[in-house]
Chains A and B, each alone.
Chain A
Amino acid sequence: MRTRLSPRLLMFAEKNSALMALIIVCLLGALFVENFASSLNLSAILFQYAIIGFLALGQLLVILTAGIDLSQGAQVAMISIVTAVLMKSTGIVPAVIGGLVMGALFGLINGFLVSRTKIPAFVVTLGMLGVARGLAQLFSDSKPVSIDVQSFVDFGRSNLAGIPVSAILWGAASLALAFFLGQRRLGRHIYAVGGSEESSRLSGINVKNIKLLVYVLSGVLSAVGGIIWTARLSSGSPLGGNGYEMESIAAVIVGGGYMFGGIGTVSGTVVGVLLFGVINSILNLLGISPYWQGTIKGVLILAAVALSQFRRVNRSR
């Protein structure tokens, strides 16, 4: 009985440890940090972290296949430039489509290289990080591209029942993705590929196309995040999204995702994103210097991963 029960119990605890942390941090924030629990602040957290949230959903898909996408932040920059430039010359619809296509294109190249060559995902997407950031600077002359289309800017700041529209979109995307991963064949095959690539191949799963797909989706989701980011700032910036990939990776891992593939959930990822949002907000409200903030967040990521690793090792021994 012992061996049967304990993995389940551990998995339950592991799945929910990020949620526990989120609740505790929220309580502490509400009790001890002035203005934390105000609706203005909570809405600001969602406002800011819905963008990371989109990236994290894409990152989750990639990490489920034992990959990684380091180019997300740089993609956000290039996508914001493309969107802003198109917005000036054409209109909202072509601009949004252009941004999405840009993201899909980045994903397609990443996915092609990862699935068709033996170059590790780490190297491919690190290279793409440089390429995307460089292109963003080239196309913008290293200057922000401002947007004067008022309806687009308004959309970036709009609320529905007090909740930012971007956060509602993120919630909808999360639900859709959870459904896709849990109920659709293709979704389950993403888990299978991460669990064992060779076994998946021998079971007749098209491993290459699934890997291609997750990078494309990561690119498209980065594009959604990038477009919202652009609307929020009412400009495109070649420096945008800097370091966002780190937060998206961290959110997936803190939410129970496994760097070597096959394990991870949408719900965990959403909780991971919110946890980082809340911690970020508290650190800001406490007036802690940005340098310390980076350090503190880094330590939190290490601690969370070490904890989950410790559990895993304990389970297998």
Chain B
Amino acid sequence: METQPPVLSLRKICKSFAGIQVLKEVDIDLYPGEVHCLVGENGAGKSTLIKIMSGAYQPDSGNLNYLGDSLNNLNPHWAREHGINTIYQEIDLIPTLSAAENISLGIEPLKPNGNIDWPVLRKRATKILESWGASIDIDVPVSNLKVACQQMVAIAKALSLNSKVLILDEPTAVFASSEVDLLFSIIQKLKSQGIALLYISHHMDEIFRIGDRVTVLRDGILIRSGLVTEFNKSSLVKAMVGRDIDLSQRNGSQSFGEELFRADGITRSGVVENATFSLRGGEIVGVAGLVGAGRTEMARLLVGADRLDKGSISLHGKLIKVGSPRDALMQGIGMLPESRKEEGLVLVRSVSENIAYSAVEKASRFGLVPWGKIRRLVNDVIKAVDIRPPRPALQVLYMSGGNQQKVVLSKLLLAGCDVMILDEPTRGVDVGARMEIYKIMQQLKNQGKAILMISSDLPEILTQADRILVMAKGRIAGELSANEATEEKVLSIALQLGEAI
């Protein structure tokens, strides 16, 4: 492999935004037929680096060399046309167009008279997706497809051109494990076709499973680069974080308070069937299951984001009615939604405003908002949760994923919730911030809050939860205590029902 020249190589790349240097003299080489993993905490500069490779940003200084030619003023159009394709973390499809159209967007096949050749366009989509064994309706708007299917469409879109470089920015963040296998088999195929892949992921397992080479960035500086075989998990994490971290650290206290929250026969037809469970104070209950098992849908029912068909919810032993998420929050049930950018945060507003949204109402007296008091509360929470940078006036837009997640958590904290429903709290969050989120969860636990944590990351559920509910096909298919639970047991419950029907 070493003998082949790199397809794309970057030398001494520097980039800063508003005076903050995001990348400092970074070098990276992508070789044909190789999976090059790019790792680093959020804010390490990975996203900026790939945006430079794909032409979305221009570097302040440094060289890009592609197939032996030096590139100046690379733009996304040129990059895509010449075989450098990027799958961004936020799926960049046109939601209102079909999968078939998205896949050929910008490179639609034309008939000799210049009109779009629809049969060829559809065939192109079918051919790629079928060769992967993925069954996806290519004619409906992609917004009607599941997120994992959308991701597949995004990859197919990248490959519809003669790709030489494929950049995958955390592709598995939204995948269930079976879908991860499918993705990896796709990646193997691409490797054998001589495509150079750049793979960004926070999952150590994935890097050691499919990576050939790895580059570690920290604070915009290249820390280490080499073959994956030169690393092991702990040395890689250490390089990323700059300190030792024990990911398998088991959570402590097993003393629980009284039953705080109870859901009885929660049902929304076709989505969630007869879900019954309770949460005790100081308890973290994990909800595992495949994508589409109804976990998020259940969470939405619990906070009144969707209407219940049947079932009841009680808090502190009293039956309550939850008409809306606001209603839930006022009564002490808070949710950290799955897509924080769409549902959890107002991106263009400041950190303090985002945190204070839910608290303002509770703190208001006679319709007046006590801003001084709120500012103090917000500052305390920012410190307690360690939001970085600790600037209350910063627009949330400019923060890393982990810190955005902390802002949402702070919001729930300040609203004084006793019951917290966390939907994928560490999705798209780097190792360091992940540890901090776990720490915050432990603090909440020690304060006697009840936490329901939905997660697709099994190791996370196994280490963090005191009890695990496994969902399949909209039902709670099984329950395991932390001591008896293993990955195999959880998966077999999640799959069993899934295959029986």
Q: Which residue of B lies closest to A2 (CB)?
A: B270
Q: Does A4 contact B (CB under 8 A)?
A: yes
- Render A182-226 as a binary contact track against B, CB cut-off 8 A, 1 for contact: 011100110110111011111111100000000000000000000
Q: Does B399 contact A (CB under 8 A)?
A: no
A203 to B92, CA, bound (A): 9
The answer to whether B92 and A185 touch across the interface, beta carbons within 8 angstroms, is no
Interface centre among A188, A199, A205, A258 (most CB of B within 10 A): A199
Using Cβ atoms and an 8 Å threshold, which residues of chain B touch A201?
A: 76
- Render A219-258 as a binary contact track against B, CB cut-off 8 A, 1 for contact: 0000000000000000000000000000000000000001
Using Cβ atoms and an 8 Å threshold, which residues of chain A touch B78?
A: 204
The answer to whether A204 and B88 touch across the interface, beta carbons within 8 angstroms, is no
The answer to whether A184 and B56 touch across the interface, beta carbons within 8 angstroms, is no
Using Cβ atoms and an 8 Å threshold, which residues of chain B touch A189?
A: 106
Using Cβ atoms and an 8 Å threshold, which residues of chain B touch A196?
A: 92-95
Using Cβ atoms and an 8 Å threshold, which residues of chain A touch B116?
A: 183-185, 188
How near does chain B come to A166, taking the closest CB pair, in angstroms?
28
Using Cβ atoms and an 8 Å threshold, which residues of chain B touch A263?
A: 96
A114 to B101, CA, bound (A): 26
Q: Does A8 contact B (CB under 8 A)?
A: yes
Please, how many residues of chain B have a CB less than 8 angstroms from a CB on the other chain?
Answer: 32
> Pick the contact of A200 from B75, B81, B88, B94 — CB < 8 Å?
B94
The answer to whether B94 and A8 touch across the interface, beta carbons within 8 angstroms, is no
Q: Given that A188-B108, A191-B97, A195-B97 are known contacts, is A203 also in contact with B80, CB under 8 Å in the complex?
A: yes
The answer to whether B137 and A4 touch across the interface, beta carbons within 8 angstroms, is yes
> Pick the contact of B110 from A4, A185, A205, A258 — CB < 8 Å?
A185
Q: Given that A184-B114, A185-B110, A185-B116 are known contacts, is A199 also in contact with B92, CB under 8 Å in the complex?
A: yes
Using Cβ atoms and an 8 Å threshold, which residues of chain A touch B96?
A: 191, 194-195, 258, 261-263
How near does chain A come to B156, taking the closest CB pair, in angstroms?
13
A206 to B76, CA, bound (A): 10
Q: Which residue of B lies closest to A260 (CB)?
A: B96
> Pick the contact of B94 from A192, A206, A317 — CB < 8 Å?
A192
The answer to whether B56 and A202 touch across the interface, beta carbons within 8 angstroms, is yes
Q: Does A7 contact B (CB under 8 A)?
A: yes
Using Cβ atoms and an 8 Å threshold, which residues of chain B touch A206?
A: 77
Q: Does B275 contact A (CB under 8 A)?
A: no
Q: Given that A4-B140, A204-B81, A263-B96 are known contacts, is A188 also in contact with B86, CB under 8 Å in the complex?
A: no
Interface size class of A (residues with CB under 8 A): 20 to 34
Q: Does B306 contact A (CB under 8 A)?
A: yes
Using Cβ atoms and an 8 Å threshold, which residues of chain B touch A8?
A: 140
Interface residues in B142-173 by Cβ distance below 8 A to A read: 144, 157
A265 to B111, CA, bound (A): 23
How near does chain A come to B271, taking the closest CB pair, in angstroms?
10
Q: Does B458 contact A (CB under 8 A)?
A: no
Using Cβ atoms and an 8 Å threshold, which residues of chain B touch A203?
A: 76, 80, 92, 105-106, 157
How near does chain A come to B37, taking the closest CB pair, in angstroms?
22
The answer to whether B77 and A204 touch across the interface, beta carbons within 8 angstroms, is yes
How near does chain B come to A9, taking the closest CB pair, in angstroms?
12
Q: Given that A7-B140, A184-B115, A205-B106 are known contacts, is A199 also in contact with B93, CB under 8 Å in the complex?
A: yes
Q: Which residue of B lies closest to A196 (CB)?
A: B94
How near does chain B come to A182, taking the closest CB pair, in angstroms?
8
Interface residues in B62-104 by Cβ distance below 8 A to A read: 75-81, 86, 88, 92-97, 101
Using Cβ atoms and an 8 Å threshold, which residues of chain A touch B77?
A: 204-206
How near does chain A come to B171, taking the closest CB pair, in angstroms?
16
Using Cβ atoms and an 8 Å threshold, which residues of chain B touch A261?
A: 96
The answer to whether B54 and A202 touch across the interface, beta carbons within 8 angstroms, is yes
The answer to whether B105 and A205 touch across the interface, beta carbons within 8 angstroms, is yes
The answer to whether A188 and B93 touch across the interface, beta carbons within 8 angstroms, is no
The answer to whether A185 and B93 touch across the interface, beta carbons within 8 angstroms, is no
How near does chain A come to B75, taking the closest CB pair, in angstroms?
8
A185 to B80, CA, bound (A): 17
Q: Which residue of A lies closest to B77 (CB)?
A: A204
Q: Given that A4-B137, A203-B80 are known contacts, is A262 also in contact with B95, CB under 8 Å in the complex?
A: yes
The answer to whether B110 and A195 touch across the interface, beta carbons within 8 angstroms, is no
A317 to B305, CA, bound (A): 9
A202 to B106, CA, bound (A): 10
Using Cβ atoms and an 8 Å threshold, which residues of chain A touch B80?
A: 203-204
A8 to B270, CA, bound (A): 18
- Render B294-317 as a binary contact track against A, CB cut-off 8 A, 1 for contact: 000000000000100000000000
> Pick the contact of B76 from A2, A3, A185, A202 — CB < 8 Å?
A202
How near does chain B come to A18, taking the closest CB pair, in angstroms?
19
Interface centre among A7, A192, A194, A205 (most CB of B within 10 A): A192
- Render A294-317 as a binary contact track against B, CB cut-off 8 A, 1 for contact: 000000000000000000000001
> Pick the contact of B115 from A183, A191, A192, A204 — CB < 8 Å?
A183
The answer to whether B88 and A202 touch across the interface, beta carbons within 8 angstroms, is yes
The answer to whether B144 and A192 touch across the interface, beta carbons within 8 angstroms, is no
The answer to whether B92 and A202 touch across the interface, beta carbons within 8 angstroms, is yes
A253 to B114, CA, bound (A): 30
Using Cβ atoms and an 8 Å threshold, which residues of chain A touch B140?
A: 4, 7-8
Using Cβ atoms and an 8 Å threshold, which residues of chain B touch A317?
A: 306
Q: Given that A188-B108, A202-B88, A205-B105 are known contacts, is A195 also in contact with B95, CB under 8 Å in the complex?
A: yes
Using Cβ atoms and an 8 Å threshold, which residues of chain B touch A204?
A: 75-81, 106
The answer to whether B108 and A185 touch across the interface, beta carbons within 8 angstroms, is yes
- Render A1-38 as a binary contact track against B, CB cut-off 8 A, 1 for contact: 01110011000000000000000000000000000000
A26 to B149, CA, bound (A): 45
How near does chain B come to A12, taking the closest CB pair, in angstroms?
12
Using Cβ atoms and an 8 Å threshold, which residues of chain B touch A192?
A: 94, 97, 101, 105
A200 to B96, CA, bound (A): 12
Using Cβ atoms and an 8 Å threshold, which residues of chain B touch A202?
A: 54, 56, 76, 86, 88, 92
Interface residues in A271-308 by Cβ distance below 8 A to B read: none
The answer to whether A188 and B101 touch across the interface, beta carbons within 8 angstroms, is yes
Q: Which residue of B lies closest to A193 (CB)?
A: B94
Q: Which residue of A lies closest to B154 (CB)?
A: A199
Using Cβ atoms and an 8 Å threshold, which residues of chain A touch B144?
A: 3, 7
A residues lining the B interface (CB < 8 Å): 2-4, 7-8, 183-185, 188-189, 191-192, 194-196, 198-206, 258, 261-263, 317
Query: Beyond the given A202-B54, A202-B86, A203-B76, could you list 20 further A-B residue pairs with CB under 8 A, ordered by the A residue number?
Result: A4-B140, A7-B144, A8-B140, A183-B115, A188-B97, A191-B94, A192-B94, A195-B96, A196-B92, A196-B93, A196-B94, A196-B95, A198-B92, A204-B79, A204-B106, A205-B77, A205-B106, A206-B77, A262-B94, A263-B96
B residues lining the A interface (CB < 8 Å): 54, 56, 75-81, 86, 88, 92-97, 101, 105-106, 108, 110, 114-116, 137, 140-141, 144, 157, 270, 306
Question: Could you show 7 A-B contacts with beta carbons less than 8 Å apart?
Answer: A2-B270, A188-B108, A199-B93, A204-B75, A204-B78, A262-B94, A263-B96
The 9 tightest CB contacts between A and B, nearest first, are A204-B77, A262-B96, A195-B94, A195-B96, A199-B92, A183-B115, A203-B106, A204-B106, A204-B80
